[in-house]
Amino acid sequence: MAATADTIFDQHLTARAFSLTSAFWFAFATSIGMVAAGYLIAPDFMANIPYLQFGRIRPIHVNLVLFGFVTPGLLAAAHYYVPRLLRTDLFSQKLGLMSVILWNVAVVSAVVSLSTGHSQGREYAELIWPVDMLVIVSFALVVLNLLMTVRRRKEPVLYVSIWYACAAVILTALTFSLGNVIWRPDTGALLGIPDAILLWFYGHNVFGLLLTPLTLGLAYYVIPIVTRNPLYSHTLSLIGFWSLLVVYTHIGTHHLLQVPVPTWLKVVATVDSVAMVIPVMVFLINIWYTAKGKLGEIHADIAGKFIFTGTIFYFFVSIQGSIMALPQVQRITHFNNWVIAHSHLGVLGFAGLSALGGLYYILPKITGKPLYSRFLADLQYWLVLIGIVGFTVVLTIAGLVQGNSWFAGETLYRTLPEIHSYYVVRLSIGLFIALAAYIGLYNVIRTIYFNPGEEA
């Protein structure tokens, strides 16, 4: 069968649906982020609209960027490269489409339940039990589809991207169930300090076992193709994969260094947060050596550009993370905007940029037509880049102001006027990111549905 645009279209139903999901929720989530940021400047502006109150929309923003934007974006790419690397088709497009639909039902339910005050009050695990179930079933469908695809493979050797994609969805399905304490539907929580330990084991592994492996898998796939270089070292990918699983999973307690949890746990978390440089640098050396001498190619390819920039942010956020896990440093950085800077650097700068790169890589392949507008994609790249660097600078400064003032004995009320102007700048910079998200949504929709471009 000749690969006309139509058959390509049908072949990639799932990837296409995940792409649209990601692009849509990116726009929605940043809009919510703008409202949240607005609250911190003018709390009376939208006073007494319960479902827009800061405490309710903050978890919506966070859940949406994690499970609406970044994860679906990375999954879209995975549903393209996994079959491709295995020289087969996706096990079932119908199953895939079902997983996307259910996924979106879960995300919509999350928005509705959180905005109406149905929350379990545990950061990153606030969704109520029925929504948890939806998420788990969606994950299970994705796992099933990918594993069955692996079973039907015509390529005997599994490339590193496959390991990462499979491990990410399987392990996250497990940690999600565990972290949300699904055997206790009413509260979704343990009692006392162990609840905090479990929560941060899970919360940390949203980044460590979901976003990071999916992103690394994508980079391992795209960077060698874009640079037309073979992967620098398969040994390094092995070391990177297993060390990531061993080290990243057990350091969640670095979120609890100033809380009465057992000291040995804190010691382990701190020491091995520093040891995170091993999986991080192993990956980066591998990818950066693969790209060696080919920066021109990367610059010329929009997907390569996004993803390579993501790896640079991976370097920064991880080194920063290792430093932030030191108790001496956390005396200043904990509890304030420093951490918010780190979060955006990681989730947007590293995983988010890479997810966008993934979309731009697969879109031409899954529609059979070139990207609707390379210019808009470039524009989006620069807007997000300016946004994320701006966020990092401004929020880090605000965090230092807060942390140092408190450490010097100033009360919190006195630091509110001190950080006000940084909050204003943050909101303004947020405009860049929100604009970028809408531009991306437009570009994705035009590429898929109203693309005047010639068939490739």
Partner 1 sequence: MSQKMTPTAVVLGSVTILAAVVFVVVFWPYQQADYTPSEIFRYRTEAEAAGRKIYIANGCVYCHSQSIRAIDWGHGATRIAQAGDYVQDRPILLGSQRTGVDLSQEGGEHPDDWHIAHFINPRYTRPNSIMPPFEYLGMEKIELLTAYVQSLGMKAADKRMARQRFWKEESIRAYEAGIDENVRWLAEIVPQGWRDIPNPYAASEYSLARGRMIYQAFCIGCHGPVGDGMGDAQPWIYPPPLNFTILKGREISGGIIYYQLMNGITGTAMPYFKKDLESEKLWDVGNYIAAYFINEVDSNGPPRGIDAAYEP
Judged by CB under 8 A, the chain residues 119 through 148 that form the site for partner 1 are: 119-123, 147
Neighbours of 427 (CB within 10 A): 21
Q: Which stretch binds ligand HEM (CB under 6 A): 6-14, 157-165, 173-181, 204-212?
A: 204-212
Q: Which is nearer to ligand HEC, 43 or 327 (CB)?
A: 43
425 touching ligand HEM, by CB under 6 A: no
212 touching partner 1, by CB under 8 A: no
Instruction: Give me 162's structure tokens.
Output: 């496959």
Min CB(61)–ligand HEC separation in Å: 13
Q: Which is nearer to ligand HEM, 16 or 254 (CB)?
A: 254
Under a CB-based contact definition with an 8 Å cutoff, are residues 293 and 284 in contact?
A: no
417 touching ligand HEC, by CB under 6 A: no
Residue 211 touches which member of ligand HEM, partner 1, ligand HEC, none, C-beta under 5-8 Å by kind: ligand HEM
Min CB(68)–ligand HEC separation in Å: 22
Q: Which is nearer to ligand HEM, 122 or 369 (CB)?
A: 122
Q: Which stretch binds partner 1 (CB under 8 A): 297-305, 333-341, 365-373, 440-448?
A: 333-341
Under a CB-based contact definition with an 8 Å cutoff, are residues 121 and 66 in contact?
A: no
Min CB(234)–partner 1 separation in Å: 5
Under a CB-based contact definition with an 8 Å cutoff, are residues 386 and 432 in contact?
A: yes
Q: Which of 120, 273, 309, 402 binds ligand HEM (CB under 6 A)?
A: 273
For residue 207, give the 3-state DSSP assignment.
helix
User: How many angstroms separate the CA atoms of 358 and 361, rounded?
Assistant: 5
Q: Which of 191, 260, 264, 413 binds ligand HEC (CB under 6 A)?
A: 413
333 touching ligand HEM, by CB under 6 A: yes
Q: Which of 55, 121, 194, 262 binds ligand HEC (CB under 6 A)?
A: 55
- Contact flags string 312-331 toward ligand HEM, x per CB under 6 A: -----xx--xx-xx----x-
Q: Which residues contact 374 (CB under 8 A, 6 or more apart)?
A: 302
Min CB(259)–ligand HEC separation in Å: 20
Q: State the first-to-last Cα distance of the chain, in angstroms, to the nearest integer.
A: 16
Alpha-helical runs (H) found in 291-409? 295-300, 302-324, 327-333, 337-344, 353-367, 374-407
Q: Which is nearer to partner 1, 128 or 434 (CB)?
A: 128
Q: Which residues contact 150 (CB under 8 A, 6 or more apart)?
A: 82, 86, 158, 162, 166
Alpha-helical runs (H) found in 116-233? 129-151, 160-179, 193-205, 212-227
Residue 353 burial by CB count (10 A; 0-12/13-18/19+): exposed, middle or buried? buried
User: How many angstroms separate the CA atoms of 58 and 73, rounded?
Assistant: 21
CA 88 to chain CA centroid, Å, is: 27
Which residues of the shown chain bind ligand HEC in the complex (CB under 6 A)? 54-55, 413, 416
Positions touching ligand HEM (CB under 6 A) are 30, 33-34, 36-37, 40, 58, 61-62, 65, 69-70, 123, 207, 211-212, 254-255, 273, 276, 280, 317-318, 321-322, 324-325, 330, 333-334, 339-340, 342-344, 346-348, 350-352, 430, 433-434
